Structure formats: C-alpha cells, structure tokens
Structure 1
Amino acid sequence: MISRLWLLFILQVPILALPTDTENVFADDLTSEYAKGIILAAKVAEMKGMMKPEAAPCDNFYEYACGNWNRQNPALLLGKAMTDSFQLLLDGFNRRLLRILRSQSLQSELEKKMQRFFLSCANVNRDDVLYKVALENVYREFGEMPAVAGDQWNSSAFNWWRTEAHIHQKYGKNLILAVDIMHDIKNTSLNRVYLNPPDRSKFSGSRLMDILEEARISKDLQDYLGVEAKEAKNIAKNLNSFDEKLFEGVSSNTLEDSVSLYTMAELEEKYISYLNFTEYFGLIFGEENIPDQLYVTDEEFVDNILVLMKNTPSATQANYILWHLLETYFVDANEKDLSKWCVDQTKKYFGQLTENLVYKRYRSSKAEAEVFSVWEEIRGIFREHLKGDKLDWITNDTRQVAIEKLDRMALHINSYDSEDFEKLFGKVEIDRYNYVANIQHLLSAKAIGSAEKLKLPGSSLDFSQTLSFTPAYNIQENIITIPVALLQPRYFWGDEYPEALKYAILGFLLAHEMVHGFDGEGRSYDASGNLAPWWDIKSRYEFEERRKCFQAQYHAYKYAGSELPETEDQSENIADNAGVKFAYIAYEKWLRNQTEERKQRETMKELELSSRQIFFLGYAQLWCDDVHSLFQSSVAKDDNHAPSKFRVIGSLSNFQEFSWVYNCSQEAPMDPEYKCAVY
C-alpha cells in the first residue's frame, strides 16, 4: 500500500520545498528540483508497486506489469465490482467536485442551486417518514402499485403503454421502450425520433447475482413501501425474471445494421394489435408534434417486447414500470458513503455544470496545449500511414476519402464553456430539504427540453455523467471529446515524468478514439457524421479479412474459465492495436529529435528500464484491474472491450516493436509468428 499512499500524498498535498529560499523557507513549491524529485519517486513507487517483476515480460506482459495490482486494490475487500486505474482518476475528479460542493464561496445562483441539490441528497434518511411519503407520491401520480394495493388493485384502470407514455412525457424516463431524439443518422443537420431498447440491460451474471438482486429488491419493497416479507420476495422474483425476459433479445448490431426508418402510418399498421403508436407519441410530444417519420432500432427487440407485454399479467407490468420509476429516487448508500454517492448523483443531474465548474477551478492552459499537441502528432502519424504504402490494401479512392475524414476530425475538451446553463437549470426549483422533489423538477425540465429538440437542428445525446473520465469518439459529429477528469495532473503523465508515459497513455487514448472513425462501424460514416458508406468493395473485403484475424485471436483467449465471445464486432480490439502502434511511432519520432541529455531524463531511477520499455510498461499499467469473481463472466460476455488483461496481451503480441524492445525470443508467447493488424 506504500506506493498508493505516496501517490495520493503527491496528488493532494503541496510539497514543501527544501529551505533554499532564505526569505520563505516553508514556501510551497512544486517547481523546485526537490519537489520534482519526490513527485517522480512517488510515480516510480506506484509503478513498481503494480508490477510483478518475477513474471517474464515475454511470457505474459500483463502479469509482469500488473501482477500486484490486485493486492493493493482488491475488489473483494473494497466492496466493488472492479478496481482499475481509471477509478483513481475518477476519484480524484470527485474529490475536487466535493470540495466545490462543500465550499462557502459559491457565487452564482446556479452553483448554489447545484449545491442545494447535493445537500438535499446528503441529508436523506432512508427511515424518514416524509421521505417515504414522497416516494409514495412518485408512483401514485401514475396510479396504484399492485405490490402495495394487493387485492384492491384495479387492473381495468391500467394500460402499460399509456402509463409509460405519461411517465416519459412528464419525466423523460425510458422504462419498456426508449424514445430518444438525436441526429438523423443519414442527415446530421436535423433531429429524428428513435424508438430504442431502453439502456438498462442486465449483466448476464450467475444465479448467485440474481439471488442478490432479488434480495435487494425484496428488502427495498419492505423498507420503502411496507410490503410483507413473503409477498416482497415473490414480487422481487417476478420483477427480476421479467427483466431477464425483457432484455434477452437485445441486438449487439451496429446502428447502421439495426435501424429502420418508418412512417407513423407504417408503424401504426404493423403494431396496431399491440398499441396505438399515434396516441403513444401524441401523449409524449403532444398531438401537434407527432413525428411523420422515425427510426426503429432493433425491430426484433420491439417485436419481442410487445409480444412479451401482451402475454404478461397486468399486475406484473404495473409493478415493473412503477418500481423502476421509483428506483430513480432511492438512496443507494450507507451513511459512511453517502457523501461520495451524492457527488455521483449531482454529476448525474447536473453533469454539464459539474464538468464546467471543475474545469474553471482547476484549468491548466499548459495541460490543454499538451493534449492538442499530442493529438496533432498522432493524427499526423495516421495521415502518413494513409498516404504511404503501409496500407496498400486500401484503394487510392477510399484512401483519399479517409484522409479527408481524418483532416476534418476534431478534438474538443468537454468543458461546456458555451453551454447555456441558465436555460438548462434556471427555472428548476431546488429545495435543500426535499431530494425527491428536486429530482422530479430536474427530470421535468429535461423532458421539456427533449421535446423542444424536435424543432431544433441536429444534436447529439448528452452523456456527460457517463463519460466523465475517458475520451470518446462521437461518430455522428466526427469529434473526439476529452473529459475534464483526464486533464488532472500527475495521474497518468506530468512534467516530472518521462514523455514516454504521456505518449503511452494520452497518445494511446487519442489514437484509439481516432481509429474508431475508421473501424467496422466508423467506415460507414462520412466526414460530416452522416451514414454514407464510403469504402469501395475491394477495401471492404480486405478490411474484413484482417478483422477476421482479430476475431480468431481474441476468441482463443480464456477468461473466467471460458473463451471470449467470437463476435464480428472487433472495433475495440482494432482500435487498441492501432492505437498503441501510432502512439509508439509518435514517441519514437519525438525521441529522435531530442538531445542525448534530454533522452537521459526519459529513464526513471530505481526502475531499470529503457525509455522504450517504460513506454510499454506505462501502456500496460493503464489497464491494471481487479474484477470481482462474481462479475468476471459478465465482463467477458457483455463488454465490447476485451478484458483488460487481453487488451495488453493482444495488442502488444501483435506489435513487433514490443518484442524487440523487450528482447523476446521468437518462441515467446508475446511474440507469435502470426500477428493481426488492420492499420
């Protein structure tokens, strides 16, 4: 644990410089050579603490780089599904936000409004009578709940799709069917309605996980709604079983392959025996705003769910819809962890504002300049590849369009500096003593804004609360967004560290997202983000042949006792492999232009590795993690990324330069004879 304590000390507490300044011997100075030395020593201690040096790097580089991570950050003992390096980054962001939320110096009414929301959350007592009454009022706005009403419940007064439409209109909640508004997939200048599966899919876990989930629901039914224990257990089992049936048919296809454009008349005709979609959308948007056309994502899911709903008892339907509405308002934390949990809730409902506040308080123009500088270097490397003969399997015509798309790809920091926060939150009433009402007001305001999007130019969905620590590529805007959390100093790279770490981590992350513009899905969208496949037949064929290599390679890896799924979607693996390659080439290019004296600073005392070896170690340690055994099978089946172990082993075993840098023999597992590559 020593290395982590060192790191946290460096990140949170100013370093006292040695008393060389006689006028102020106790001046805080992170720029002194002494302070820089301590910061670098802490980073070395952190990196060494993760490593398992007795493991052979050419046999299993993940084990060598991350073999001791689970001892320092055990998921089981910390009570988490998993621990990883990104969690440390997120924790740092949350600490900064918590300081702001507890500050007495907030100036604007919007900032104070956000603070009141946080305080209303932190003051919730699960056993408080007023809190439970507020919860009852949430579902009673849409009718009685069979779990509470029992034999008194009137099934004839309930209609599942009308109830859901009313809930969506008032609070924007997607429970059975998701209704979203965003760019038209074929014309990003306008918005379109999408009918989607709700984004709440279950992990395909073990029976033990199902039992734990049922126990949680049963306890909440008893604690919050006063349901008898035996009845609560039966209802919880029914809800969990229905949830499994609801999501078992969700497709993993790309948006291009799973979306269909319908007129309202066509949709009405196809599904009239199940529900009246004209009335459904009229209830959500108002009769004057019923869309003439809309996209249906994953028709098979819609078909299956409507059949399922028709064959499901109305009491189960009502319990399911009203329960998942009610869960929005539950406080899912004990007293010890309540403040941390409420920080997450504040980010969930004030996502753009929280990012902007942290950005303004801790902004570093130098860090931003570094990000954009590395981005231009990485983009230049890919451009050189496209123009040269290394990617000769792509035809010249397709190559030219790819270069145009790359040149128009933009990089944005997710600071929300241009966001109109007054429009988002100005009219929302927030009471520091009424957490439930606060969420209702925030959801209502967002639902009104969502309906207004139908009349506005094309725009993306906002994922600020889910993309708070990792870069992301927006396929419909051809933009890579950088979260504010990534700009925090000294977590992954810093002035005191070798540049190798900056290229290995920042360079890789940028390159990885850049490649998504040219992967299996990205190659179907043009430079403006419109769905307009631009690859010719030959280039598509050659791409597919190379994709199949990754499909076979990663399927052969075993995790949690089973082979990884043999999925056609290899986009994340392709991006990992190309990303580390481009980042390394960029680092090599930088290294060649340095003096011998500067190159000497690329090594780290007590870490007896060359600068190039440090690059690969830094890349691998980005993916150190420990996954609770209950969730390992879910990670393998449900995540489109490979488990972290194979993000390291797969990409580095395909990269010949890694084997040369670590002097691997041709018989070593990390240097296979056949290597996969697309870019």
Structure 2
Amino acid sequence: MLSKPLLAVALAAAALCLSSQSLSAQQPAAPQPLQAMPYSPSLDVTSLDRSVDPCVDFYKFSCGGWMKNNPIPSDQASWDVYSKLANENQQFLWGILVEDARATNRTPVQQKVGDYFAACMNTSAIDALGDKPVRSELARIDALKTRPELLAALTRLHHEYAGSFFFGSGTDQDAINSSVIIAAVGAGGLGLPDRDYYLKTDDKSVKIREQYVAYIRQLLSLTSEPAEKTKADADAILRIETALAKGSLTRVDLRDPHKTYHMMTVAELAKLAPSIDWPLYFKTQDAAGVEKLNVSQPEFMKAVEAELSTEDLAALRAYLRFHLLTAAAPYLAHPFEQTNFDFYSKTLRGIPVMPPRWKTCTRAVDRNLGEALGQEFVRRTFSADMKARTQLMTEQIETAMQHEIENLPWMSPATKQEALRKLHAIRNKIGYPEHWRDYSTLEVKPDDYAGNAVRAYRFEDARQWHKLGKPVDLNEWGMTPPTVNAYFNPQMNDINFPAGVLQPPLYDSKLDDAPNYGNTGGTIGHELTHAFDDEGRQFDAKGNLRDWWTPEDAKGFEDRINCIRDQYAGYVIVDDTHINSKLTSGEDVADLGGELLAYIAWKKQTEGVKLTDVEGFTPDQRFFVGMAQWACENERPENLRVHAATDPHSPGFARINGVVSNMPEFQKAFGCKASQPMVHAPSCRVW
C-alpha cells in the first residue's frame, strides 16, 4: 500500500467519522466496559420474509424481515449486518477506551489509546482553538511568492501533512519481485471520490460539482477569506482537479496490475515531471538515495507537471490551502468538521446527521493506533478455541479448492500445477498479528487532538518509508483486529481474517455447522478465490506479477468470467444505473467460487453425520439462508450512486441472488424450477 494517501484522510475516513455537535460537559458518560459482545444468531428466522418465494428472490426471502426491522440510523449512509456488528464492536471498544482514559495505573498501550480518545472527546478544547492548528501552515502557503518556493513547499507538505497534494507517494512491494520494497508514486490530488465525478455531464454529476465548489468556498471562508476570493479560488481548484482527473486511469483500468506498473529511474521520472526536484523530494521524505521506483500512472504525472508548470501561482496556492484545510477539518473546531460532514457525508452519501462523538473518537483511535487498541479487543473477545475452529475451516476450504483445481475440465496440467503451487503457498492470518506494532515513539497527548492526528500521520508515514531496503514483513496486517472485514493480498499471497469479523452473527459457535459454513465459510472461500480472480490470477505463488497461464487456459478463464459479467451487468443498482460488471467481476467471481468451496467443505465436515431439520429448514436450506443473511442491508440512494461509481463490490441483493442462481445445489435444496428467476441459464461457473 502506498504510505501517502491518494485521497486525503479527511475524504476517505473522516467524512464518516465526525461528531454531530460540539459536545463538552453535556456529553453522556460511556457505558461500563461490556463483559461480552451482544449476541445475534448467524441464522435468524425473524429476518426472513416468508411471503417471498425463495426461488423468485432468495435475497428478499432471507433478508426481507431484517430490512424491515433495521432502518438506516440517521448517522449512517447504509446499514447492514456488517455495519451492525461493527457498531457493536465500537460500543465494546468505547467502554475499553473510557476505562483506559480514566485509569491511573496504565500500561503504555492503555496510556496511548486512552489519551488519544480523551483528547478527541474534549470538544471544548478543540473548539476553543478554531483553526489555530493549521493557521501557521496556511500563512506559510500564502507567503509563497515564486514557483520554486511553491514546489519546495509541495515537497515539504508531502512529508508533514496528510493532505492529498497533487499526487501520492510511498513504499510498496515490487510487483515483479515481491520480496523487495520499492518507492512508488501514484495518482491523487482529487477532492471528489473518483475521476468520473469531474468528467461526466449528466445532471447529477453537474449538480455535485456545483455543490463541491460551494463546499470549497464555505470551507475557505471559515479562515476569513473574502467571498470574492473564495469564488476565484474554488473555480481554480476545480479546474486543477479536473485536469488531474483527465490524466487518471479509470477504476476498471486500475484493476489491471500491468497498467499500474511502470518501473523507471528517478531521472526518467524527472523527464515526466521536471518541475519537481525528485532527489530532494525523496530526501525530504527520509528516503534519500532512491534510484528506481514504480510510477503507477505516467500520464497522470504528465498532467501534474502541466499544472505545476503552467497554472497561475495564486491558483496553486489556493489548491494547497484547500487540501491542507479539508484534510485537517475533522480535527478542527466544530464549524470546520460540520462543513466537511455536510458535503462528504450528507451531500455525497445522504447521511442526515453526524455520529455521536464517542463513535468519532473510537474510530480515530482504531484508525491511528489500531494494533494497540486491537490488543485490548482481542484479549476480551477472541479465544484460542475460536481461532482454532476458524483455522480448521480455512484448511478444509483450501482442501476443497485443491480438489476443484485438480478436477477442472478446462485447465491444462501445466497451469494446474502452477495453481496448486500458489494455493499451497497461501498464508492464513486469523484474528490478530503474531507480533504487535510498536507505537512507543508516537507521542500522544491527552489535550492535543489535532496534534495527535498529525503526529500519528507522521509516525505511519515514517514507518512506511523506513521499509525501503528492508525484507518484506510477511506478518504485517493491513486491517486492525476489531475490523469487521477480511481481505486477500495478492503480493503477500495471504488471506486475512481479523477477530472483529469472526463474531456472531457472522461466526456463531452456538449454532450448527450449516449456517456457519454458509456465512464465514463463504467469506473464507471468497478471500481464497481472490487469489484466482481476474486480478489475483496474474500473481504467482511468491506474489510476483507473472503470467503462469497457457494462452488456452487464460481464454477459458475469460470465457467463464464473461458469463458472470454478462449476468451482473443486467442488475440495476439505483435509478437506471446498472452494475459496472467489469469493475465488480473480481468480487462477483469470489462470491460464487467462495460459496461453492464452502459448500464442498461443509459436506466433507458433516460426512457420515446424521443431520436434522431445524426451525423448519433442511440442513442444505440452512446453509444457504446462513449464507444470504450476512448480506442483509439497507442503503441510501445517494450512497448507492457513489458505490456504483467506485465500489468493486456488487450490492447485497446481487451478491446473493447472483450466486445462488448459478448453484444447482441451491436449486435442489429449495426445489426451484428451470423457469424461475433463481435459476440462471446458462449457469456460470469459474472455479
């Protein structure tokens, strides 16, 4: 992952992590730390809608009751089973943080997470500062009189602040030699979620750009900038960002690792963007001596160069001011965070109100001290038995994948051998890291929230740059332990399941195997299948970008994945917007392949065991209902539009109906007829 954010932290995270009001002494006290997480079963019959025929709309049958009983909270853009569990995890963490903030005899870990939380909760102190935490830096930007001065400031800003200033930089594994950490430069610099927001000409896109300009003006006006100047600055900022957007790759192109791998020398990069003193740039990032690096989007860097070399200095200063300010807004006084929320959350995602302050602060600690807070979470929630059970399920699903690869009729022996080599090399990470991250050099103060945020950024930025020339740490995680999510990393060739996602109702030790394999087993299979989706299949057992497929096998894969693309392209997300199946196909393939693997593993696990009906469902039916109920969701139309443009995941209804309609095992379990909607013809299958 690039250590420099390619979108400002405020845009990517804080838009969902802001308080609803300036809270101080009136803030209600947090609950006592929870003794146990709340319990919800992984198969809940109250979530069903039995008026719906499962062969017509299995998602609605499985989730209709849940959707009716779980309206979207006012501080959320959407609400689903994962969101609900994440909220419960946050409440649990809230109790831990209150305890750690108040305690007198604390460990170093408890001191850091407790003081970070306390500083965030002290909104009276935050409000009293106004924009003071960024005032001196804004003044330095205003004082830039020449282009060389501005370019030098750009280099320094990249080192010191989290704002998205024109482009991103950092370290990453070399795609060709994954054992090596290299420097990388990539696209960035946009304030809207995606390049298409700047380039599309439909009425909604035009309206959003108008609202974005209004946001820029309002934010700049909070620093006492005159109205006439805010108009000129906002117009200039949109002009600059539009030029950068035109040079950016599409979301679909970004899924092709070959299109984002362009190794070159620093001298070659200097020919693309000569305005920047690149040796000085890397020296300023504490990475002196960089000779070669990956420039993920050369055409984008040409667009950066055009702006830096020809754009009016006043416009460039305005751009830097805005990106510093919008990144800092969530950590400043209430008017700044409210303005930031009103655009990024209310306008773009339809969220009516900010979340309560305790959520903002819990998320902030998890984001910046995730493995410190994770130690506190794991100690209370994740037993050795739970880890062992998940490990066993993972191994069973990998065995199922081996059997499937060995018996694929469309794959040649040579490609099968490479696929099996990759499968056997995958590392399973379950629950939490083997070694916790050391935060001892990060200074956290109980009365300096904005300062803590800046120091946390600089700590992480330095940690990433320090990896240059070091062996790849195969034990490192990209998610914190309380996170309700999972992922596959193609260059590490590992699958990762944080403790947060292995809680009820996603994994439920109180229930039978059927819903657990349908739910958590499907998730494990999903992440495993990512190793062999349209993107993951391009990396080998060592995580290197290498074509290990015969041309015939590659064509066979594409033919099968195109069946899924054609199917999902017919689903409507919102309004008249269809799924962009070229963007979502990796996740769609993983959903289908993962559930097939989970079903095979469940059948093997229960082989020879006499299974009985429970709550009116056969074991096979319970497997599929358990599978479907992880995806129950409600979503605001504004958020659906954002996801349609940016999210590689299909909406919940498609992730369920699209899968079961391609599984004869489901159709047999529910007695579906060939003419019914949950029977897709032709049936699609890759793995």
- TM-score interval for Structure 1 and Structure 2 normalised by the shorter chain: 0.7 to 0.9
Q: What code does the residue aligned with 1:588 have? A: K
Structure 1-normalised TM-score? 0.84
Which is further off, 454-463 or 289-298? Answer: 454-463
Selected match of 1:190 from 163, 180, 185: 180
| Distance across 1 between alignment mates of 2:51 and 2:493 | 44
Give the structure 1 partner of residue 259 of structure 2: 257
| Distance across 2 between alignment mates of 1:562 and 1:384 | 39
Q: 1:392 to 1:117 in 2, by over 3 A?
A: same
For residues 514-572 of structure 1, give each alpha carbon's deviation from its aligned partner in whole angstroms, at most 9, with x where no partner exists: 01111222222111112222112221111111122122111122221222225276211
Which is further off, 176-185 or 207-216? Answer: 207-216
Selected match of 2:532 from 514, 518, 530: 518
Q: Is 2:83 the partner of 1:87?
A: yes
Selected match of 1:419 from 430, 436, 443: 436
Selected match of 2:449 from 428, 435, 439: 435
Report the alpha carbon displacement of residue 13 of structure 1 after superposing the two structures with TM.
7.5
SS of equivalent to 1:78 = coil
Q: 1:640 to 1:265 in 2, by over 3 A?
A: same
**Unaligned 5+ runs, structure 1:** 1-10, 16-29, 31-38, 146-152
Give the structure 2 partner of residue 117 of structure 1: 116
Q: What code does the residue aligned with 1:283 have? A: T
**8 Å CA contact retained: 1:182, 1:459:** no
For residues 288-314 of structure 1, give each alpha carbon's deviation from its aligned partner in whole angstroms, at most 9, with x where no partner exists: x23111111022222233324444333
**Unaligned 5+ runs, structure 2:** 1-32, 198-203, 331-336, 339-352
Q: 1:462 to 1:214 in 2, by over 3 A?
A: farther
Give the structure 1 partner of residue 50 of structure 2: 53
**8 Å CA contact retained: 2:402, 2:420:** yes
Give the structure 2 partner of residue 27 of structure 1: none
Which is further off, 318-327 or 174-183? Answer: 318-327
Q: 1:70 to 1:211 in 2, by over 3 A?
A: farther
| Distance across 2 between alignment mates of 1:194 and 1:127 | 35
For residues 179-206 of structure 1, give each alpha carbon's deviation from its aligned partner in whole angstroms, at most 9, with x where no partner exists: 1212111112221011111396615563
Give the structure 2 partner of residue 603 of structure 1: 614
Give the structure 1 partner of residue 3 of structure 2: none
| Distance across 2 between alignment mates of 1:440 and 1:581 | 46
| Distance across 2 between alignment mates of 1:12 and 1:467 | 15
**8 Å CA contact retained: 2:57, 2:677:** yes
Q: What code does the residue aligned with 2:277 have? A: N
Give the structure 1 partner of residue 586 of structure 2: 571
SS of equivalent to 2:496 = strand
Kindly report the root-mean-square deviation, in angstroms, between the aligned alpha carbons of the 2 structures.
Answer: 2.9
Q: 1:336 to 1:410 in 2, by over 3 A?
A: closer
Structure 2-normalised TM-score? 0.83
| Distance across 2 between alignment mates of 1:415 and 1:13 | 20
SS of equivalent to 2:566 = helix
**8 Å CA contact retained: 1:139, 1:322:** yes
Q: Is 2:134 the partner of 1:135?
A: yes
| Distance across 1 between alignment mates of 2:543 and 2:324 | 34
Which is further off, 373-382 or 456-465? Answer: 456-465
| Distance across 2 between alignment mates of 1:323 and 1:344 | 24
**8 Å CA contact retained: 2:366, 2:480:** yes
Q: What code does the residue aligned with 2:413 have? A: N
SS of equivalent to 1:511 = helix
Q: 1:213 to 1:340 in 2, by over 3 A?
A: farther
Give the structure 2 partner of residue 408 of structure 1: 425
Map 1:194-205; keep pairs closer than 5 Å.
194-198=184-188, 202-203=193-194
Map 1:587-598; keep pairs closer than 5 Å.
587-594=602-609, 596=610
| Distance across 1 between alignment mates of 2:677 and 2:290 | 57
Q: 1:491 to 1:241 in 2, by over 3 A?
A: farther
**8 Å CA contact retained: 2:477, 2:496:** no
**8 Å CA contact retained: 2:186, 2:296:** yes
Map 1:55-454; keep pairs closer than 5 Å.
55-75=52-72, 78-103=74-99, 104-105=102-103, 107-125=106-124, 128-140=127-139, 143-145=140-142, 155-156=145-146, 159-171=149-161, 174-198=164-188, 202-203=193-194, 206-207=204-205, 208-223=207-222, 225-228=223-226, 231-232=229-230, 235-236=233-234, 238-240=236-238, 242-248=240-246, 249-252=248-251, 253=253, 254-272=256-274, 274-285=275-286, 289-331=288-330, 332=337, 337-388=356-407, 391-421=408-438, 425-454=439-468
For residues 230-263 of structure 1, give each alpha carbon's deviation from its aligned partner in whole angstroms, at most 9, with x where no partner exists: 6546645654564454335333332233211101
**8 Å CA contact retained: 1:191, 1:459:** no
Report the alpha carbon displacement of residue 345 of structure 1 after superposing the two structures with TM.
0.9
| Distance across 1 between alignment mates of 2:649 and 2:49 | 24
**8 Å CA contact retained: 2:657, 2:678:** yes
Q: 1:119 to 1:417 in 2, by over 3 A?
A: farther
SS of equivalent to 1:603 = coil
Give the structure 1 partner of residue 9 of structure 2: none
Q: 1:260 to 1:443 in 2, by over 3 A?
A: same
Give the structure 2 partner of residue 627 of structure 1: 635
Quote the sequence identity (%). Answer: 22
**8 Å CA contact retained: 2:286, 2:462:** no
Map 1:514-593; keep pairs closer than 5 Å.
514-560=528-574, 561-567=576-582, 570-593=585-608
Give the structure 2 partner of residue 25 of structure 1: none
For residues 195-230 of structure 1, give each alpha carbon's deviation from its aligned partner in whole angstroms, at most 9, with x where no partner exists: 11139661556345445544544443344x233456
| Distance across 2 between alignment mates of 1:420 and 1:667 | 55
Give the structure 2 partner of residue 471 of structure 1: 486
| Distance across 2 between alignment mates of 1:414 and 1:291 | 36
| Distance across 2 between alignment mates of 1:575 and 1:219 | 43
**8 Å CA contact retained: 2:41, 2:508:** no
**8 Å CA contact retained: 2:189, 2:241:** no
| Distance across 2 between alignment mates of 1:410 and 1:199 | 35
Give the structure 2 partner of residue 651 of structure 1: 659
- Larger-Rg structure: 1
Give the structure 1 partner of residue 341 of structure 2: none
Q: What code does the residue aligned with 1:393 have? A: W
SS of equivalent to 2:582 = coil
For residues 486-515 of structure 1, give each alpha carbon's deviation from its aligned partner in whole angstroms, at most 9, with x where no partner exists: 133x22232322321110111001101101
| Distance across 1 between alignment mates of 2:69 and 2:523 | 25
Report the alpha carbon displacement of residue 577 of structure 1 after superposing the two structures with TM.
0.8
SS of equivalent to 1:67 = helix
Which is further off, 379-388 or 302-311? Answer: 302-311
Q: 1:154 to 1:385 in 2, by over 3 A?
A: closer
| Distance across 2 between alignment mates of 1:99 and 1:199 | 37
Q: 1:134 to 1:12 in 2, by over 3 A?
A: closer
Q: 1:556 to 1:336 in 2, by over 3 A?
A: closer
| Distance across 2 between alignment mates of 1:473 and 1:53 | 36
| Distance across 1 between alignment mates of 2:394 and 2:229 | 58
Q: What code does the residue aligned with 1:58 have? A: C
SS of equivalent to 2:131 = helix
**8 Å CA contact retained: 2:430, 2:498:** yes
Q: What code does the residue aligned with 2:502 have? A: L
**8 Å CA contact retained: 1:498, 1:603:** no
| Distance across 2 between alignment mates of 1:136 and 1:51 | 54
Q: 1:448 to 1:493 in 2, by over 3 A?
A: closer
Which is further off, 519-528 or 461-470? Answer: 461-470
| Distance across 1 between alignment mates of 2:279 and 2:481 | 32
**8 Å CA contact retained: 1:513, 1:575:** yes
**8 Å CA contact retained: 1:558, 1:564:** yes
| Distance across 1 between alignment mates of 2:236 and 2:62 | 45
Report the alpha carbon displacement of residue 667 of structure 1 after superposing the two structures with TM.
0.5
**8 Å CA contact retained: 1:51, 1:66:** yes
